[in-house]
Amino acid sequence: MPRQEREVSIMYTATWNGVELARSSNTIEIEGNQYFPPEDVKMEYFEKTDYHTTCPWKGFASYYSIRVNGNVNENAAWYYAEPKEKAVQIKDHVAFWKGVKVEKA
pLDDT in tens, 76-104: 999 999 999 999 999 999 999 999 999 99
Give 13-40 pLDDT, tens digit per residue.
999 999 999 999 999 999 999 999 999 9
pLDDT at 1 exceeding the cut of 50: no
Asked whether residue 3 is domain-assigned, the answer is: no
The number of beta carbons lying within 10 Å of the beta carbon of residue 57 is: 11
Asked whether residue 4 is domain-assigned, the answer is: no
Asked whether residue 94 is domain-assigned, the answer is: yes
d(CA 45, CA 86): 29
Asked whether residue 1 is domain-assigned, the answer is: no
What domain range is 84 assigned to?
12-104
How are strands ordered across the β-sheet holding 19-24? 19-24, 12-16, 101-104
pLDDT on residue 5: 52
Asked whether residue 79 is domain-assigned, the answer is: yes
Count of the separate structural domains present in the chain:
1
